[in-house]
Structure 1
Amino acid sequence: MIAHFARLVNPLVSRRRWAGQEHIPKTGGVILVANHTSNYDPLALGEFIIWAGRWPRFLGKSEIWNVPGLGWFARKCEQIPVFRNTDRAINSLVHAEEALLTKHHAVAIYPEGTITADPDVWPMTGRRGAAQLALKTGVPVVPLVAVGPHRVLGQKNLEFGKLLGGRKPVSVMARPALDLSAYEGAEPTKEVLDDITELILDTLTEMVAEIRGEQPPPEGRYDMRLGRRVGDGAVRPE
């Protein structure tokens, strides 16, 4: 029902352009790492993933599960809550690991941990959760990006007025799985996890740049804690 709802609604508010669906494996556990630009991302990315032949299990902030109606949908669709900034945060990775290795699901995760605060909507610094999951499970890690969802519904804040401005261009693209063979069997040290996180975010940034036909900011990634771009790392301290 949700898949067909997205199929019906998305064309009303966006002009969609897709590329690279063939890079999403049809079977087996897979981690889908994506940039996060808007509250509209799950609809834009979800439709792309579903019509590539997989049902995505998104890791999302636990507050969603408290929203009437939306929380019910999240539970029914087997999405995975993340209890951010609590001692229960690690539980999301445990559930994601089970989904990947036991149920062989497709798990979608935003390495940035939240909607980007970059004023120009580039991927910002991230968290180590996606890297931890990749290292522990060894399943393929497929990068995908969406460019344009913030034009439909706003960036950090919901802007419903944008829905009245006509259909907005939204591009979704996937690339082949990342080559993480250099880290096979490695201990999950801070340095290793930071390296993998940087590789993920570098790849997502390159993909956004390709779609936008622009160069990423030379001063580096935006760090929401500092309120500026930094060039000395991809990871925000936990």
Structure 2
Amino acid sequence: MTSSSPQPKRVKSEKTAAFRVLAFLLLPTMTALAKFTLHDAHHVPAEGAFVMSPNHYSNIDPVVIGVGMWKIGRMPRYMAKASLFKVPVVGWLLKKSGQVPVERVPRGRQSGDPMKAARQIADQGLAVVIYPEGSLTREPDMWPMRGKYGAVRTALEAGIPLIPTASWGAQEILPRYSKRISVFPRKTIHIRFGEPIDLSEYEGKHVDSRVLAEATEKLMTAITSLLEELRQESAPAVRYNPAEHGQSETGRFESK
């Protein structure tokens, strides 16, 4: 495993008051729980919009990626459950930090376009974090499963970099589907940022399902490769597809 790379110089601070409050609330706890080691942070653009696409294997992943981005000076915007925006203080912080509310509605009904909101954030030159798996991976050993199109669609339509990212170690703090946090001993979390996905072959083309599927597979391959480096293991040769195992891709599937 390579050592962590020098952090790139940031042109303008994105650490607004709302993000500083979030950092004040979260950083001491996360620092107590884990040591964070960042790899190849120079791949993250120093300014301008981009989509960051990490693997997803623990409910604490968004906080982990948020800490990593804080350390390199880029502030993340996520798509969060709309119900959280109604919680006192929490809702105010989410709104002030530019997070995107997403309504959960019955299958078959429309609740607006969260990808449109993500593109609007990208238009402002900000960073959007989109988990391509859409939910915690169902893969038994927590390797990335089949990806969905949201991250690629946003990057292609906005014409901005797509940064594959892998983290490992969060499962030791909060195991998949668990609600119990492990405090001792202090853990180590590694985050590796990959080179932007080359989407040049799709420029000028109609963004249809074929294009999205091909580009998403490129993204998932890159994320998996980064995770292989962190874990020092080889991922399964075939990408895990929950549908082939009679599993839903949303909600809790198993206790582990």
State the match for 1:56 in structure 2.
76
- Equivalent of 2:94, from 62, 69, 74? 74
Equivalence for 2:150:
129
- The normalised TM-score by structure 2 is 0.81
Give 1:209's match in structure 2, choosing from 223, 228, 239.
228
Amino acid in structure 1 at the alignment position of 2:200: S
Call closer, same or farther: CA 1:19–1:110 in 2, change over 3 Å: same
* CA distance 1:112–1:75, shift in 2 (3 Å): same
1:184 pairs with one of 198, 203, 207: 203
**Counterpart position of 2:59:** 39
Give the deviation of 1:63 after TM superposition.
Answer: 4.5
Say yes or no: does 1:15 pair with 2:30: no
CA shift digits 1:186-229 (9 cap, x unpaired): 111111000011011111011001100000013x2222333379
Q: Residue in 2 aligned with 1:95?
A: 117
Q: Give me the whole-angstrom Cα distance separating, in 1, the residues matched to 2:25 and 2:166.
A: 21
Three-state SS of the structure 2 residue aligned to 1:146 is strand
How far the C-alpha of 1:118 sits from its partner, in A, is 1.6
Deviations 1:67-102 (A, max 9, x none): 5554343222211123355412x521111111111x
SS at match of 1:225: helix
Q: Aligned residue for 2:240?
A: 222
* Letter in structure 1 aligned against 2:243: R
Question: Which residue of structure 1 lines up, in the alignment, with residue 46 of structure 2?
Answer: 26
Q: Which has the larger radius of gyration?
A: 2
Q: Residue type of the partner of 1:81?
A: P
Residue 197 (structure 1) aligned to one of 216, 222, 226: 216
Note the aligned Cα RMSD (angstroms). Answer: 2.0
Unaligned runs of 5+ in 1: 230-235
Q: Which amino acid aligns with 1:51?
A: K
CA distance in 2: counterparts of 1:34 and 1:17, whole angstroms: 16
Aligned residue-pair number: 225
Instruction: Identify the range of structure 1 (17-26 vs 55-64) with the bigger mean alpha-carbon deviation.
Output: 55-64
CA distance in 2: counterparts of 1:12 and 1:210, whole angstroms: 25
* Residues 70 and 226 of structure 1: CA distance in aligned 2, closer, same or farther (over 3 Å): farther
* Map 1:137-152 → 2, pairs under 5 A: 137-152=158-173
CA 221–61 in structure 1, closer or farther in 2 if over 3 Å, else same: farther
CA shift in 2, pair 1:174/1:3, >3 Å: same
Shift in Å at residue 44 of structure 1?
1.1
TM-score, length-normalised on structure 1? 0.86
1:158 to 179, 185, 189: 179
Offset, 1:155: 1.2
Please say if residues 222 and 228 of structure 1, whose CA atoms lie closer than 8 Å, have aligned partners that are also in contact.
Answer: no
Aligned-pair distance for 1:5? 3.5
Distance 1:12 1:211, change over 3 A: same
What amino acid maps onto 2:49 in structure 1?
Answer: G
Q: 1:138 to 1:50 in 2, by over 3 A?
A: same
